[in-house]
Structure 1
């Protein structure tokens, strides 16, 4: 039996939410290939690696990536 902690659950949810962000970015920026979208999202995600609360990380990541894409 595998026991999930709150950190594990939050991490899994964050992974899913960031995948949704990547999909949304690829829909809005059709010239953006999947590898580039993933790299941009991961770069911004790394900035928030030490965040105590992860609820706003997807929003902040998406905002930063959109800014960098102009």
Structure 2
């Protein structure tokens, strides 16, 4: 049940960040360059997703190591 609630909150947060990142990119890139804007957006979101997944993996490993030492 906790995983379901966490996933729901994560989805809502992702939607909020989606709009924020789009507005940030549109502010610095001319509105007529839709493809470039979408490409930069995709790269930024991918980078953030990989970074979060990496650190969550490290955190999970640290927790498992701590449990094994007990």
> TM-score, structure 2 length as denominator?
0.45
Higher relative contact order (CA 8 A, sep 6+): 1
Look at both structures and tell me which one has the larger radius of gyration over its CA atoms: 2
More helix by share: 2
